[in-house]
């Protein structure tokens, strides 16, 4: 029984990926480095959505509100309070986690789709407040030119900061999923009634998942402030939540890294297809439909299944 977090082979892959990602700013031009930062932070956003969705079986349908509130929290602390931005980077995610707790307590009474619907309603309420409250949040203009510490203000600095924070966040999420809490959460996903019958307080465990998801969405929002130096109300509009769910399904909602892959696909499609046509969402729609039809477990889910099948085939031949 392996007691380590990853086997040797897995570790080597991680190290190779990390080295490549560290070298990127020396090779690629500024635009691509920016794009990669966006992919990383959107990937973290989608993966934090997938924590309750794919591993907890909770219909987390309005995840963008935590992303947006985290970003606004950071932006407002920097622009209004005069505190160090480093403190803001911690406060933003904590506000998002707190919102996750409050909205969770209200929504967790309902299950499945009803949970998601109530979450969308409450989240839209938060969006409406941010959208209208000109004196505090800047209304539909948002907040621009947010200053961040010098060391991470360049595009390279922002990229490395995003890379490090995303890496740490992924590691923490991975540890959480492999812990007893993570096992129980997946048990709840598969069968809440059974979970309660083996002595698990289902609602409390789900609530913690929502708080954790809110926190890491807030981290992703904060990273957006670092990369883009702006916040705007669209960051917590429900359409972005839908995009996050699509990222999870596209990449593979039962896999750990699937949502990151989904985020990469969507950001790339949006960036490159939209230079040819305004209707980039149509292209995304077609791809998404095809994936649902032919790869119901998502792209990474399909790859993982294929890898798992391979050794079995070899055994069968013997």
Which of 176/257 has CB closer to other proteins? 176
Which of 138/182 has CB closer to other proteins? 182
Pairwise CA distance, residues 25 & 32, whole Å = 9
Find the shortest distance in angstroms from Cβ 187 to other proteins: 5
What residues have CB less than 8 Å from 243, skipping those under 6 apart?
A: 64, 266
Q: Name the site residues for other proteins (rule: CB under 8 A).
A: 1-3, 5, 175-176, 178-184, 186-187, 189-191, 193-202, 205, 254
Place of tokens 């923490």: 172
Which of 179/239 has CB closer to other proteins? 179
> 280: burial class by Cβ within 10 Å (0-12, 13-18, 19+)?
middle
Find the shortest distance in angstroms from Cβ 1 to other proteins: 6
Which of 198/314 has CB closer to other proteins? 198
SS3 143: strand
- What single-letter DSSP state applies at residue 252? -
Pairwise CA distance, residues 204 & 218, whole Å = 21
Find the shortest distance in angstroms from Cβ 174 to other proteins: 10
Which of 241/297 has CB closer to other proteins? 297
Find the shortest distance in angstroms from Cβ 249 to other proteins: 16
Neighbour count for residue 196 (Cβ, 10 Å): 13
Find the shortest distance in angstroms from Cβ 150 to other proteins: 34
Neighbour count for residue 1 (Cβ, 10 Å): 2
Find the shortest distance in angstroms from Cβ 189 to other proteins: 8
For residues 218 and 69, the answer to whether their CB atoms sit within 8 Å is yes
Which of 24/254 has CB closer to other proteins? 254
- What single-letter DSSP state applies at residue 231? B
């Amino acid at each position: 029984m392996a007691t380590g977090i990853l086997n040797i082979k897995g570790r080597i892959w991680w190290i190779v990926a990390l080295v490549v990602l560290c070298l990127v700013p020396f090779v690629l031009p500024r635009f691509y480095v920016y794009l990669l930062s966006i992919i990383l932070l959107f990937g973290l956003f989608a993966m934090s959505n997938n924590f309750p969705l794919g591993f907890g079986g909770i219909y987390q349908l309005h995840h963008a509100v935590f992303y947006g509130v985290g970003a606004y929290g950071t932006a407002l602390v920097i622009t209004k309070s005069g505190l160090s931005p480093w403190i803001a980077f911690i406060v933003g995610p904590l506000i998002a986690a707190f919102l996750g707790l409050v909205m969770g307590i209200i929504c967790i009474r309902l299950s499945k789709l009803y949970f998601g619907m109530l979450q969308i309603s409450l989240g839209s309420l938060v969006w409406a407040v941010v959208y209208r409250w000109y004196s505090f949040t800047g209304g539909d203009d948002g907040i621009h030119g947010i200053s961040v510490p010098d060391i991470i203000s360049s595009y390279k600095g922002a990229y490395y900061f995003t890379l490090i924070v995303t890496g740490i966040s992924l590691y923490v999420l991975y540890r959480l999923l492999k812990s007893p809490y993570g096992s129980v959460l997946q048990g709840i996903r598969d069968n809440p009634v059974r979970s309660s019958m083996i002595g698990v307080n289902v609602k409390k465990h789900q609530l913690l998942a929502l708080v954790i998801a809110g926190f890491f969405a807030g981290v992703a929002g904060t990273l957006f402030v670092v990369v883009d130096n702006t916040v705007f109300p669209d960051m917590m509009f429900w359409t972005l939540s839908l995009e996050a769910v699509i990222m999870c399904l596209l990449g593979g909602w039962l896999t750990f890294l699937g949502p990151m892959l989904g985020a990469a696909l969507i950001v790339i499609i949006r960036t490159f297809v939209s230079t040819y046509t305004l209707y980039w969402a149509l292209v995304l729609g077609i791809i998404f439909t095809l994936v649902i039809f032919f790869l119901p477990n998502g792209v990474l889910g399909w790859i993982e299944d294929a890898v798992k099948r391979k050794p079995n085939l070899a055994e069968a031949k013997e």
